[in-house]
Amino acid sequence: MNKLEQLYEGKAKKVYSTEDPNVVIVSYKDDATAFDGLKKGTITGKGAINNQMTNFLMQQLEKAGVPTHFVEELSERETAVKKVSIVPLEVIIRNISAGSFAKRYGVEEGIVFDEPTIEFSYKNDDLHDPLINDYHAVALKLATWDEIDTIKKYAFQVNDFLKKTLAECGVTLVDFKLEFGKTADGTIVLADEISPDTCRFWDSKTGEKLDKDRFRRDLGNVEGAYQEMARRLLGK
Ligand code: C5P
pLDDT of the chain, 236 residues: tens digit per residue = 899 999 999 999 999 999 999 999 999 999 999 999 999 999 999 999 999 999 999 999 999 999 999 999 999 999 999 999 999 999 999 999 999 999 999 999 999 999 999 999 999 999 999 999 999 999 999 999 999 999 999 999 999 999 999 999 999 999 999 999 999 999 999 999 999 999 999 999 999 999 999 999 999 999 999 999 999 999 98
Residue type, 148: I
Residue 191 near residue 68 (C-beta atoms within 8 A): yes
Residue 113: per-residue pLDDT: 99
State which of 86, 103, 128, 175 you would mutate to test the pocket of ligand 1, scoring each by most atoms of that ligand within 8 A of its C-beta: 175
Can you tell me which atom of ligand 1 is nearest the CA of 212? 12
Residue 150 burial by Cβ neighbours in a 10 Å radius (0-12, 13-18, 19+):
middle
Cα separation of 175 and 159, whole Å? 9
**C-alpha separations of 115 from 159, 190, 219, 227 in Å:** 11, 22, 29, 30
Residue 236: per-residue pLDDT: 82
Q: What is the pTM of this model?
A: 0.98
Ligand 1 mean position, distance from CA 198 (Å):
6
Ligand 1 mean position, distance from CA 176 (Å):
6
Cα separation of 232 and 145, whole Å? 38
Backbone angles phi and psi of 17, in degrees to 5: -75, 165
If you count them, how many residues does the chain have?
236
Q: List, as own/partner pairs, every contact residues 121-129 make where C-beta atoms lie below 8 angstroms and the sequence separation is at least 24, other chains included.
A: 121/89, 121/90, 121/92, 122/88, 122/89, 123/86, 123/88, 123/89, 123/90, 123/179, 124/88, 128/36, 129/36, 129/90
Which residue in 104, 127, 129 sits closest to 117, CA to CA? 104
| Non-local CB neighbours of 106 within 8 Å, separated by 6+ positions | none
Residue 136: per-residue pLDDT: 98
